[in-house]
C-alpha cells in the first residue's frame, strides 16, 4: 500500500511539474501558433486529470505558479476553468461542444433567501427564455432543477466537470437534470447573497453557441438579447423569490459568471443593508454612519477584504449591520474609493475610512465576521435594542 501511495504522489508531482513547465512556456510564447501548441498539450493533460477526478496536480501547479509567475498562473487557471466547464458529447453521430452556464441572481430579504427545487413550469419557462433569446439555432439546453446558493456550487475542477457532463447528457436527451437537495450543503444565512440557475448548452462542435455568433446576425444583438432574457427570467423566477428583492444578471460560462456576480454583489449588498435598516428600523440613510477598512490574514492564507460597519450616526462604537467587500484582485486603494463612492450613492454621508489593516477576525461563537466601528474597534454587528419589538414589515 505504501508503495502504491508513494507512486501516486510521484505521478502527481511529475504531472504538476509538467503543467508548470507548459504554463510557463505558454506565458512566454510570442505567436498564435506556439500558443495553440502549448494550449493543446495543457488541455490534454488537464482533461486526463479531470477524467480521473483528481485535481491534486492542477492545484499543486497553481500553488507553485502563484508565487513565481502571475502570467503563467493566469494562463493555467484559465485553461483549467475552461476544461472543467466544457466537454464533448455525441449527438446523432456528430460531436457537440457542451458549455456549463450559470445565470446569477443578486437577492436580499429580511427572511431566509431560498435555495429550492425549481418546479417543472419554472424550468420549462427558463429553458424557453434561454433558447428564444440567447442560444444558437442548433443548440440544445438542459437546466438543473435547483436554485443554488454559492455554498452549494461545486468547487473542485473535477466536480465542476462532473456537473458539466451530467448536464451535457441531459441536453442530449432534451431533459432537465434533477438535483437531490439532500446531497447539497446547507447555505450560510446572509441578508444579501447570490443564487444561481445552472444550465448546459450543446451545439455542433466548432459552431456558434449563441444567436449573436451566427452568420448574418449583428454581434451587437447580444445587448438586446441579454436584456430581454434578464427581464423574462425575472418574471419566471418571481414565484420562487417571494419575499425577496432580486436582480437577474446575464448568464455566462460558469467561472466567469461567478466572478462577475461576486463583483456585482458588493455594491448590491451595501444597498440592501441600507434598505434593510430603513425598512426594519426606520433608520434613514442620512442618519447612518459607516466605518470601513481592510481586513487581512497576517499569514496570507486567506484573501483580504474590506469590511463596512454601519451604525447610527450618534454611535461611534457600535455596528448594527455589516457588509463585506472581497478585494477580488482590486488594488486596496481603488476598492476603498469604490466603497466611499457607493456609500454616497445610497445616501450615507458620514463615514470613516481606517488606513491601518485589521486582522481577519470572526466571532468565536457564531463565526460571523467582525466589523470596524468609527472609534477603530472591531465588534459583532448587533440590531438596535429599541427596535427588537418593532412589528415585521412585509417586503414586496
Asked whether residue 135 is assigned to any structural domain, the reply reads: yes
For residue 302, what pLDDT is reported?
A: 65
Closest listed residue to residue 358, CA positions, set 340, 373, 343 = 373
Q: Do the Cβ atoms of 274 and 310 come closer than 8 Å?
A: yes
Residues 188 and 312 in one domain: no
Tell me the three cell numbers of residue 40.
493543446
Residues 144 and 251 in one domain: yes
Residue appearing with cell numbers 458549455: 99
What SS3 string covers the chain? Answer: CHHHHHHHHHHHHHHHHHHHHHHHHHHHCCCHHHHHHHHHHHHHHHHHHHHCCCCHHHHHHHHHHHCCCHHHHHHHHHHHHHHHCEEEEEECCEEEEEEEEEEEEEEECCCCCCCCECCHHHHHHHHHHHHHHHECCCCEEEEECECEEHHHCCCCHHHHHHHHHHHHHHHHHCCCECCCHHHCCCCCCCCEEEEEEEEEEEEECCCCCEHHHCCCCCCCHHHHHHHHHHHHHHHHHCCCCCCCEEEECCCEEHHHHHHHHHHHHHHHHHHHHHHHHHHHHCCCHHHEEEEEEEEECCCCCCCCEEEEEEEECCCCCCCCEEEEEECCCCCHHHHHHHHHHHHHHCCCCEEEECCCCEECCECCCCCCECEECCCCCEECCCCCHHHCCCCCCCCC
For residue 10, what pLDDT is reported?
A: 46
Tell me the three cell numbers of residue 244.
425577496
Binned at pLDDT 50, 70 and 90, residue 1 comes out as very low
Residues 146 and 237 in one domain: yes
Asked whether residue 393 is assigned to any structural domain, the reply reads: no
* pLDDT of 191 over the 80 cut: yes
Domain that holds residue 147: 86-263
Question: What mean pLDDT, rounded, does the chain reach?
Answer: 90
Angle at 129 between CA 125 and CA 133, to 5 degrees: 170
Kindly state the percentage of the chain with pLDDT values over 70: 93
Half-sphere exposure of residue 2, counting CA atoms within 13 Å on the CB side? 0
Residue after which a domain boundary falls, among 204, 230, 263? 263
Residue after which a domain boundary falls, among 234, 263, 292? 263
Residues 80 and 97 in one domain: no
Residues 289 and 253 in one domain: no
User: Looking at beta carbons, which pairs linking 209-215 to residues 24 or more positions away fall under 8 Å?
Assistant: 209/97, 209/99, 209/135, 209/136, 209/139, 210/134, 210/135, 210/136, 211/133, 211/134, 211/135, 211/136, 211/137, 213/136, 214/136, 214/137
Residues 332 and 294 in one domain: yes
Residues 235 and 332 in one domain: no
Binned at pLDDT 50, 70 and 90, residue 384 comes out as confident
* pLDDT of 8 over the 60 cut: no
* pLDDT of 348 over the 60 cut: yes
Asked whether residue 376 is assigned to any structural domain, the reply reads: yes
Residues 112 and 223 in one domain: yes
Residues 71 and 97 in one domain: no
For residue 315, what pLDDT is reported?
A: 82
| pLDDT mean over 74-86 | 97
For residue 298, what pLDDT is reported?
A: 77
Asked whether residue 94 is assigned to any structural domain, the reply reads: yes
273-293 per-position pLDDT tens digit: 999 999 989 999 999 999 999
For residue 363, what pLDDT is reported?
A: 84
> How many domains in the chain?
3
Q: Do the Cβ atoms of 109 and 243 come closer than 8 Å?
A: yes
Query: Which of 57-66, 121-130, 298-307, 383-392 has the weakest average pLDDT?
Result: 383-392
Residues 188 and 246 in one domain: yes
For residue 252, what pLDDT is reported?
A: 97
For residue 301, what pLDDT is reported?
A: 57
CA distance 293 to 388: 29
| pLDDT mean over 218-244 | 96
For residue 329, what pLDDT is reported?
A: 78
* pLDDT of 355 over the 70 cut: yes
Residues 79 and 94 in one domain: no
For residue 226, what pLDDT is reported?
A: 97
Asked whether residue 273 is assigned to any structural domain, the reply reads: no
Residue after which a domain boundary falls, among 263, 291, 311? 263
Asked whether residue 277 is assigned to any structural domain, the reply reads: no
Q: Do the Cβ atoms of 10 and 60 come closer than 8 Å?
A: no
* pLDDT of 5 over the 60 cut: no
Kindly state the percentage of the chain with pLDDT values over 90: 79
| pLDDT mean over 158-172 | 97
Tell me the sheet residues that pair with 37.
none
Residues 166 and 210 in one domain: yes
Tell me the three cell numbers of residue 80.
483549467
Asked whether residue 378 is assigned to any structural domain, the reply reads: yes
Amino acid at each position: 500500500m505504501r508503495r502504491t501511495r508513494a507512486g501516486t504522489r510521484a505521478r502527481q508531482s511529475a504531472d504538476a511539474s509538467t503543467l508548470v513547465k507548459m504554463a510557463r512556456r505558454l506565458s512566454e510564447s510570442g505567436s498564435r501558433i506556439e500558443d495553440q501548441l502549448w494550449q493543446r498539450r495543457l488541455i490534454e493533460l488537464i482533461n486526463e486529470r479531470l477524467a480521473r477526478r483528481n485535481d491534486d496536480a492542477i492545484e499543486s501547479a497553481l500553488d507553485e505558479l502563484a508565487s513565481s509567475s502571475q502570467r503563467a498562473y493566469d494562463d493555467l487557471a484559465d485553461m483549467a476553468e475552461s476544461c472543467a466547464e466544457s466537454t464533448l458529447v455525441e449527438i446523432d453521430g456528430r460531436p457537440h461542444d457542451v458549455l456549463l452556464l450559470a445565470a446569477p441572481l443578486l437577492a436580499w430579504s429580511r427572511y431566509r433567501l431560498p435555495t429550492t427545487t425549481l418546479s417543472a413550469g419554472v424550468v420549462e419557462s427558463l429553458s424557453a427564455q434561454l433558447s428564444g433569446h440567447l442560444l444558437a439555432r442548433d443548440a440544445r439546453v438542459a437546466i438543473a432543477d435547483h436554485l443554488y446558493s454559492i455554498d452549494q456550487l461545486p468547487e473542485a475542477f473535477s466536480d465542476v466537470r462532473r456537473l458539466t457532463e451530467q448536464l451535457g447528457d441531459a441536453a442530449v436527451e432534451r431533459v432537465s437534470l434533477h438535483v437531490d437537495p439532500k446531497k447539497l450543503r446547507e447555505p450560510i444565512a446572509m441578508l444579501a447573497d447570490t443564487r444561481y440557475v445552472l444550465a448546459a448548452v450543446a451545439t455542433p462542435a466548432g459552431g456558434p453557441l449563441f444567436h449573436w455568433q451566427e452568420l448574418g446576425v449583428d454581434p451587437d444583438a447580444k445587448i438586446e438579447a441579454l436584456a430581454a432574457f434578464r427581464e423574462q427570467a425575472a418574471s419566471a423566477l418571481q414565484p420562487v423569490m417571494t419575499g425577496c428583492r432580486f436582480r437577474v444578471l446575464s448568464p455566462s460560462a460558469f467561472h466567469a459568471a461567478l466572478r462577475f456576480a461576486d463583483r456585482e454583489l458588493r455594491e448590491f449588498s451595501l444597498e440592501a443593508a441600507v434598505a434593510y435598516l430603513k425598512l426594519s428600523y426606520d433608520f434613514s440613510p442620512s442618519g447612518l454612519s459607516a466605518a470601513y477598512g481592510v481586513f487581512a490574514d497576517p499569514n496570507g492564507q486567506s484573501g483580504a477584504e474590506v469590511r463596512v460597519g454601519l451604525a447610527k450616526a450618534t454611535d461611534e462604537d457600535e455596528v448594527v449591520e455589516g457588509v463585506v467587500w472581497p478585494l477580488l484582485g482590486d488594488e486596496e486603494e481603488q476598492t476603498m474609493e469604490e466603497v466611499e463612492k457607493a456609500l454616497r450613492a445610497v445616501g450615507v454621508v458620514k463615514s470613516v475610512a481606517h488606513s491601518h489593516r485589521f486582522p481577519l477576525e470572526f466571532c468565536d461563537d457564531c463565526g460571523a465576521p467582525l466589523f470596524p466601528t468609527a472609534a477603530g474597534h472591531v465588534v459583532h454587528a448587533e440590531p438596535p435594542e429599541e427596535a427588537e419589538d418593532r412589528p415585521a414589515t412585509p417586503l414586496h
